[in-house]
Structure 1
Amino acid sequence: MEQKKQTIAVIGGTGALGSGLARRWAAAGYPVVLGSRKAEKAVQAAEEMNAGGFPHAVRGMANGEAAGAGDIVVLTVPFAHHEGILAEIREAVQGKIVVDATAPLVPPKVGRVQLPESDSAACMAQEALGENVRVVSAFQNVSAHKLDGHEPVNCDVLVCGDKKEARQVVVDLIAPLGLRGVHAGPLANSTAAEALTSVLITINRLYKTDGAGIRITGNLENAPVGSPQAADARP
């Protein structure tokens, strides 16, 4: 018997990245909840998304309610709104995995790396949400428009987190999206992934390319999750 799929709440689910991830998870049979600061906006986006005829109807709610409804919460919001939304969902996400896709972009110079004082948005999230929440960093280096359609995306996703079991949950959620998740070590390593976003924006601009991404070379099948090569974070 197939194991029941966990409900995924996408906070910022009406934006480009959030809606792309939500649509692909819904198509893969996951129950999905869209979160927005305005519930009616999320409801409208969910209704439009449901025209795709997914196995489970996508639901739309305000951010706090959506975070409470999800087994796993995915944060896909602009850095400018990051701190406020963390405070908004804090109580609702206790005991859960929160996947933070935030890249610390500071307009107008988004092509320049400008990391926060705490080194990364993901580390900010862990501090704000508390030790009872397992924050995992992912998706900073995926161009949102690449998620349109259903074809596999030629891009790897660096997955960082201090709990290897939580990282594995997220890696397993990435495969149904048509992407490959790669264990990239503890949450502190998310600094590198977040900084890469600005680097990729610059590459896109200079080379006029259509959404540059990253691929990790080598045979990753040779590095089991628990091996020193895979991670140094303790469970």
Structure 2
Amino acid sequence: MLGGTGHEGTGLALRWAKAGYEVIIGSRDATNAISAAADLQSRSGGLISGAENSDAADRADIVVLAVPFQVQVKLASAVREALIGKILIDVTVPLVPPKVARVQLPAAGSAVEALQQILGPEVRVISAFQNVSAHQLADLDGPIDCDLLVCGDDPEAREQVCQLARAIGVRAWHAGPLANSAAAEALTSVLIFINKRYKISNGAGIRITGLQEE
């Protein structure tokens, strides 16, 4: 979990650890990562350790990138060698402060698709979790009341991410190629606006209707 000390990364780490997965928190400073991991482990009751970013990525089977848009490419590029042959779940949303409730997609269309082009085909980049409330993830006693769109060019990798999502109680759906990530990335700003307009403290989400559980 690169970015495991942020709100979204913390929530995902807690949920996966509680579900029985081993989680490694990555940080620029190994000491900070170890300290954060100890706190999260005590909260989840699961197995969570900490390491410097490149070490965490090297040790992991699947890597999650949950960092602000401004550092997405820099961090992923720095650990690229450790990502080769692996799935990278990118949670990036191209928010541009201060107008985060307004959709502002990058010129390339999708921030996650642009990262795939930079990292190359040796890394299987999957877009997911942009529209799942960090507040709901962190509340280990409560349900996660939303669906998840999973985009990627590799169907097998998409399915693995769907299974990881279902393991923590999220209904997850294949949403097409990585180019479709632009829709999920844009939806985050829409949900932020809805949260503010209707004062939704626990975070609005989306539901896909007309489908049965897979």
TM class, shorter-chain normalised? over 0.9
Match of 1:214 among 203, 206, 209: 206
Q: Determine if the alignment matches structure 1 residue 28 to structure 2 residue 32.
A: no
Amino acid at match of 1:30: Y
Whether the 8 Å contact between 1:141 and 1:197 is mirrored in structure 2 is yes
- 1:43 offset after TM fit, Å? 0.6
Name the count of aligned residue pairs. 212
- 1:120 offset after TM fit, Å? 1.0
Runs of 4+ that moved beyond 4 A:
none
Match of 2:59 among 52, 58, 69: 69
Match of 1:86 among 40, 52, 76: 76
Q: What is the alpha-carbon distance in structure 2 between the residues aligned to residue 155 and residue 142 of structure 1?
A: 7
Which residue in the other structure is 1:231 paired with? Answer: none
Q: Determine if the alignment matches structure 1 residue 166 to structure 2 residue 141.
A: no
Q: What is the alpha-carbon distance in structure 1 between the residues aligned to residue 43 and residue 205 of structure 2?
A: 27
Which residue in the other structure is 1:105 paired with? Answer: 95
Match of 2:28 among 34, 37, 58: 37
**5+ long unaligned stretches in structure 2:** none
- 1:202 offset after TM fit, Å? 0.7
Q: What is the alpha-carbon distance in structure 2 between the residues aligned to residue 63 and residue 133 of structure 1?
A: 17
* Structure-2-length-normalised TM-score: 0.95
CA RMSD, Structure 1 to Structure 2 (Å): 1.3
**5+ long unaligned stretches in structure 1:** 1-9, 225-235
Q: What is the alpha-carbon distance in structure 1 between the residues aligned to residue 200 and residue 15 of structure 2?
A: 24
Q: Determine if the alignment matches structure 1 residue 117 to structure 2 residue 107.
A: yes
The 3-state SS of whatever aligns with 1:172 is: helix
Amino acid at match of 1:33: I
Q: What is the alpha-carbon distance in structure 1 between the residues aligned to residue 162 and residue 212 of structure 2?
A: 13
Q: What is the alpha-carbon distance in structure 1 between the residues aligned to residue 96 and residue 44 of structure 2?
A: 38
CA deviation map 1:204-230 (0-9, x unaligned):
111111211101111234xx7xxxxxx
CA deviation map 1:98-126 (0-9, x unaligned):
00000000001111111112111111220
Amino acid at match of 2:211: N
In percent, how many aligned pairs have the same letter? Answer: 56
- 1:53 offset after TM fit, Å? 6.1
- 1:194 offset after TM fit, Å? 0.2
Whether the 8 Å contact between 1:29 and 1:54 is mirrored in structure 2 is no
